[in-house]
Every structure is written in C-alpha cells, then in structure tokens.
Chain A
Amino acid sequence: MAIADAASRLVLPLGQETRLDLDVTVGLGLAAAGAAVLGSMLGLGGGVFLVPLFTLFFGIDARIAIAASAVSVVTNSVAGSSVHLRSGFTNVRLAMLLQVTTAVGAIAGALIAVDADLAVLNGVFGAVLIASAISMLIRRQAVVPNAPPDAPDPLRLRAEYIDPATGRTVAYIPRRLRAGVGASGVAGVLSGMLGIGGGAVQVPTMNLLMRVPVKAAAGTSTFMVGMTAVASAFVFYADGLIDPRVVVPAMVGIFLGARIGSQLTRRVRTQDLVVVFVLILLYLGASLLLRAFGVTLPGQSE
C-alpha cells in the first residue's frame, strides 16, 4: 500500500508515465553530479542542492527526492570516510558521542518528513538554504589553538593528526560537549527531514562551538553523516519512498560529482566563487519558499 502510494507520488515532466526514459535518468544523474560538485566545493554536501534540483526542475515529489538524497549521502559517506579515516582526520570517539543524539534526531526528522505537508517541507528546505547562504557570507575563519596537554579531557576525546598542508601535528581536545551534543540533535532532525547529510550544521558546530580544527570536523562529519542518513533511510524504505529509478542516478551522480568537486576545490579558489554560490543558494531557497506558497517560477517544473 505504501509502495503503491509512493509510486503515484512520482510525477515526471514527461507526464504520468511510470517508467523513466533514458534522457530523464541521465538528466537526474547529471543534476546529482552538479549538486555534488557545488556541495563539495562549499562543504555543504550534495543533498543541499540535489533535493531542490530534483524537486524544482524534474517535478519529483519532495519526499522521493529526500529519500534519494539520503541514500546518496550514505553512499558518499561510506566512500569518503575511508579516506578521512586513513588521513587521521576522523575522531571516531567524538563521532560516536555526537552520533547518539544525531541518529535520534534523524529518525524524528524522517518521521516528520514522511507525514509532513509538501508545502511545509519546501518551506523548511527553502529557509535552510537561505540561512546557509547568509551563513556563508558572514562565516569567519576560526582560529583553533592546539590543545594544551593539561586541558581537562574527562572523556579522553583528545585526538591528533598530521596536517598535510604544513606537515605539522595538530592536536585538539573538543570543548563544550553538552552544547555540541544538543546541536548534533538539531543537525539530525534537519538531516532526516530534508535528506541532507547534516554536515552543513555539524561542521560549523564542531569547528566554531567545540573548537575542533576544520579538517578534523569535516572528517568526523563525513563519517557521521552516513550513519545519520541510514537512520532516516530505513524510515523512507518502510514508507516505500526509495525509488531506484531516482536513487541509482542520484547515487552515481553524487559519488562522481563529489570526486570532481574535491579536485576542483584544490585547483580553484572557492572564495572567489562564493558570491556565485550564494546567489545559487538564494535562488533555490527562494524558489522553494515560493513553492511552499503555491508559486512556481518560470522554467521550473510544476
């Protein structure tokens, strides 16, 4: 029953056909790759762009797009975590501490998404995109000092890694654990509700609030978002929202796009493109907010 309901939710630009044509499949894959390139360069993750693109330009039901994004986030996390773990950037202990509330939040978010009105989902997603754009404009580089060896570390969360850029060992002890655990729960709710990895909240939380160096925050977040998205993905599976016709091109596109994005990040000064990225985020955010009120912009799918 749930599966039949879910199938009826998929509305394609080609009409009411239940089979995706090859050009639509390729289009979804390219859109996912583009979303991943942007998300990777901005450090936000591909899901932030994938869901709006699928919803606004392919007419895919937001819940199916969110479920596809969640599965893609898992795949990308599984692939990327190995690299971060080998580099020593991932603090597994910190990840497991924060993951408890994040996973609870993700299940709650997914249950909200399954039953939420589409207008509410579009509105919340639009607000998150606009908040991310504003955050990018005002974000400042945090200076994270090395952890003093006598700093209190009751949970033994101290970690260190060798920064490949400088060749130096960077040691740190995460601070403000309670606040970090609470913020992780919020990241989990947003992740489960919107199909985004939660890194857009998790990385700034760890870096700015808990004083974890950016590379360690990114590595730990990449590891965490997979488990976070898993918690919601099973809920989406139970509701018949995981549509392989959308998930497979999304998985492949996100995986390839994230690799291209990480290569481009090394060659292109991302800071030079921030204004363009912010405009894209604002456009997508405003589009989703308008759609929440029943307004569709020209060139977008109904």
Chain B
Amino acid sequence: MSTGRPSTDPPTSAVAANSVEPSVADARLVTQTATAVLGGGFQLGIAILTLGLILSIVQREPLAQSIPSLGEVGRAVADGNAAGVIDVAILWMIAVPVMAALAIAVAFFRVREWLFMTFTLLVLAVLGVSIGIAIA
C-alpha cells in the first residue's frame, strides 16, 4: 500500500511492508478455511433439516417439544424418526461454528500464527465448557 511518505525513511517502510505482506497472505488461508467450513456446514445443515421436515410431513409426525440426550437422538435417527432427524439438524447447526473455530485454529497453526492460534484455542476451550455443561 502506498503511504505517500518520502523515501528518506526506507528502514521503517521496509519493516512495515515486511510485517504486513505475509500477514495478508496468511489471512487469506485462514479466511478460505473458515469460509469452506461455514459454507459446507450450513448447506449440510439445511439438507438435514429439509429431510427431517419432509419425513415429518410424510410420517404425519409433529415436532418434538425438546431435544433429548444425544444417545436418544441417535436412536431416533436409527429408527427413521423425523423428530430425531430434525434434532440432528438443529444440533448440527449449533456445532458448525465450533468446527469452524477448530479449523481456524489449525489454519493459524499452519501459518505459524501462534498468538492467534492461542486465542482461537481459548475460544474453543470456552465453547468446550459450554459443551461440557450440555453433556453433563
């Protein structure tokens, strides 16, 4: 990026340029990773939800009042239960940002951005506490 600064200060410009350019390239990899996980996750979630709603109409089965434990959801899906498939769609949507955070942490690791990898791992740890509350 042009700064308009006179060329009497080449060391500063050089340092600024060197500190920025790798960062932009690295950011692109991180961004592409996040985009792929979020975009793919959303499309799969919509597909599962659509399948669940179609099953619900075909089976004339009303939506459930709440989402049971993960084990019960699994059994409901195995039985071809529409409510179970819809529960999976909801839980999948909730899980997508967690998977995105995990993928971003890996991307930061690949570009050796240790500080931001640490921030992302901290976020994952906090989300892990939330998941732990849900499972407990």
- Give me the interface of A with B, judged by CB distance under 8 Å: 3, 6-7, 10, 18-20, 25, 71, 74-75, 77-79, 81-82, 85-86, 88, 90, 92-93, 96-97, 99-100, 103-104, 106-107, 110, 148-150, 153, 155-156, 158-160, 169, 171, 223, 226-227, 230-235, 237-238, 240-245, 247-248, 251
A-B contact pairs, 5 of them (CB 8 A): A85-B35, A149-B20, A234-B133, A241-B66, A244-B64
**B119 close to A248 (CB less than 8 A):** no
User: Given A149-B3, A227-B97, A235 and B38 touching (CB < 8 A)?
Assistant: no
Between A96, A104, A156, the greatest number of chain B beta carbons within 10 A of the residue's beta carbon is seen for A96
**A75 close to B93 (CB less than 8 A):** yes
Q: How far is the CB of A144 from chain B (nearest CB, A)?
A: 16
Kindly identify, within residues 16 to 62 of chain B, every residue whose CB is under 8 Å from any CB belonging to chain A: 16-17, 19-20, 23-24, 27, 30-31, 34-35, 38-39, 41-42, 45, 49, 53, 62
B78 in the interface, Cβ–Cβ < 8 Å? no
**B23 close to A156 (CB less than 8 A):** yes
Please name the residue on chain A nearest to B70 by beta carbon.
Answer: A237
**B66 close to A242 (CB less than 8 A):** yes
**B65 close to A18 (CB less than 8 A):** yes
B81 in the interface, Cβ–Cβ < 8 Å? no
The A-B contact count (CB < 8 A) is 175
**A248 close to B49 (CB less than 8 A):** yes
Docked CA distance A97–B39 (Å): 22
Docked CA distance A171–B1 (Å): 9
Please name the residue on chain B nearest to A255 by beta carbon.
Answer: B46
Report which of A149, A240, A241, A248 forms a contact with B63, defined as CB distance below 8 A. A248
**B27 close to A159 (CB less than 8 A):** yes
Docked CA distance A288–B17 (Å): 53
User: Given A78-B41, A97-B119, A230-B130, A169 and B67 touching (CB < 8 A)?
Assistant: no
Report which of B3, B5, B45, B130 forms a contact with A78, defined as CB distance below 8 A. B45
Report which of B67, B122, B123 forms a contact with A242, defined as CB distance below 8 A. B67
Q: Which residues of A contact B83 (CB under 8 A)?
A: 244
Docked CA distance A7–B98 (Å): 28
User: Given A10-B65, A19-B62, A78-B41, A71 and B3 touching (CB < 8 A)?
Assistant: no
Q: Which residues of B contact A20 (CB under 8 A)?
A: 62-63
**B127 close to A231 (CB less than 8 A):** yes
Q: How far is the CB of B119 from chain A (nearest CB, A)?
A: 4
**B123 close to A238 (CB less than 8 A):** no
Docked CA distance A226–B131 (Å): 15
Docked CA distance A88–B131 (Å): 30
Please name the residue on chain A nearest to B30 by beta carbon.
Answer: A92
Between A86, A158, A169, A237, the greatest number of chain B beta carbons within 10 A of the residue's beta carbon is seen for A237
Q: Which residues of A contact B130 (CB under 8 A)?
A: 103, 106-107, 110, 230-235
**A169 close to B1 (CB less than 8 A):** yes
